[in-house]
């Protein structure tokens, strides 16, 4: 996974949708701290979290991780 692209895409999508880190965390069942770690490139999401994010934002996992 191209981590830098993921963190940038995640932050961009979250801002596009106008939701905060807490709202996103609640929507996909993780902590706000995890969202922050992802957006700062300090952690990578697991597959179930990637799926949840893709569904939440109606994008592909490939898009999220920068393969599209």
Dump pLDDT digits (tens) for 8-66: 999 999 999 999 999 999 999 999 999 999 999 999 999 999 999 999 999 999 999 99
- Would residue 48 count as lying in a domain? yes
- Would residue 42 count as lying in a domain? yes
- Would residue 63 count as lying in a domain? no
pLDDT interval class at 3 (50, 70, 90): low
Helical axes 3-16 vs 32-39, angle rounded to 10°: 120
Q: State residue 68's pLDDT score.
A: 80
CA gap 63, 20 in Å, rounded: 20
- Would residue 23 count as lying in a domain? yes
- Would residue 65 count as lying in a domain? no
Global pTM reads 0.91
Between 68 and 26, residue with greater pLDDT: 26
The enclosing domain of 8 has a CATH number of: 1.10.260.40
> What 3-state DSSP class applies to 65?
coil
- Would residue 66 count as lying in a domain? no
Domain with 23 in it: 3-58
Number of domains in the chain: 1
CA gap 68, 21 in Å, rounded: 24
- Would residue 67 count as lying in a domain? no
> Where on the phi/psi map is residue 59: left (φ > 0), alpha (ψ -120 to 50), or beta?
beta
CA gap 6, 36 in Å, rounded: 13
């Amino acid at each position: 996974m191209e981590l830098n692209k993921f963190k940038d895409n995640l932050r961009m999508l979250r801002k596009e949708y106008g939701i905060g880190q807490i709202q996103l965390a609640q929507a996909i069942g993780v902590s706000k701290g995890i969202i922050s770690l992802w957006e700062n490139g300090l952690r990578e999401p697991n597959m179930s979290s990637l799926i949840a994010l893709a569904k939440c934002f109606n994008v592909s996992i490939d898009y999220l991780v920068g393969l599209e």
